[in-house]
Amino acid sequence: MAEIPAIDEIVELYRDVIGHYDPVRSSVTVHVSFYPYIGINQTIRVRDGQIYVRIAEICREMPIEIHKALAFVLVAKLFRRRVPKQARELYSNYVSSPEMRERATASRRERGRKVITGTSGAIYDLEELFSDLNAKYFWGTLRKPTLTWSAKPTFRILGHFDSHHDTIVISRSLDSTDVPRLVIEYVIYHEMLHVFHPTVHHNGRRYNHTAEFRRDEERFENFEEADRWIEQNARKLKRKVTKGKSILRRIVR
C-alpha cells in the first residue's frame, strides 16, 4: 500500500495546478483539510482571497496522483475552465471503483443520517442516490441542495428543482419496488443538471433546458432503458405515449 500523502504535499500540488491555470495566483494561500462529509463530496471555495479545499474524509488514503487529478477537477471548476480529459478520467475511475462506492455506503451507514435527514423513503434513499450520482457524473463536486420527497405521490411530474428554495423534489410515486433504480436515478440526475446548469435569461425569457443541458443529459448511462420502462408503464403514470418521442424527457421539469 502506498503512503498516505501529507497535507503539505497536497497543498503544494494545489498551488501547482492553480499556477497551471493562472500563474499570477500560484502564490495564493491554500488550505486543504479532510472533512467528514457523508459519502464522496469535495469542495473548493475562495474566502478573503484564500482558497479552501475540503476533501471527503473517506478519500484520506487516496494516492497522490488521484489528489492531483482531483485538484485539476476542482481548480478548473473554480476558474470555470476545462478539466483535462486524463485528470477527469483518472479521478472519476477512482471514485466510481467498487471499493470506493462500498466505502461511501459504509460511511453513510455509520453516521446513521438516514433517519435525521428524512430523505430515506420506504425503498430509496435520496441522499444515497444523490451521492452515488454525484460521484459518477459530477466527480463528487456538485453542491448539494435540499433533497425531499413530494408530500403526495404525484404522477404527472416525477421531479423538479425549485431554485428559490434550492430544493430537489422527487415524487413519492417513485419510492416503490415497482420502479427500477435506473428510473429514479434518471429523474434525480435530470434535477441535478438544473443545479449544474443554472437557468439562462435571454430577452426576457427563461431557458432551463439549454443545449449544454441536453448534451449532459445524454451522458446518463441508462437513458434508453429508463425511457423504455417509462413507456411500458405510461398508463400507471397517467401519460400518453407519442410514437418516436421520448416520454422520459416530459415527466421531469
Residues that bind Zn ion (CB under 5 A): 253
C-alpha cell at 216: 449532459
- The Cα–Cα gap between 184 and 187 comes to 5
Q: Are 145 and 198 in contact (CB under 8 A)?
A: no
Q: What minimum distance in Å lies between the beta carbon of 46 and Zn ion?
A: 30
CB of 50 to Zn ion, least distance (A): 36
Distance CA 103, CA 161 (A): 29
C-beta closer to Zn ion: residue 5 or 185: 185
Question: Do residues 164 and 183 make contact, with C-beta atoms less than 8 angstroms apart?
Answer: no
Q: Report the residue number, 144 or 197, with the smaller CB distance to Zn ion.
A: 197
Our CB check for Zn ion shows the closer of 125 and 216 to be 216
The CB-of-54 to Zn ion minimum distance in angstroms stands at: 29
φ/ψ (deg, to 5) at 44: -140, 135
* In the complex, minimum distance from the CB of residue 63 to Zn ion, in angstroms, rounded to a whole number: 37
Other CB atoms within 10 Å distance of the CB of residue 214: 12
- Which three-class secondary structure state does DSSP give residue 78? helix
Q: Which residue is nearest to Zn ion (CB)?
A: 253
Give the residue with the Cβ less far from Zn ion, 239 or 253: 253
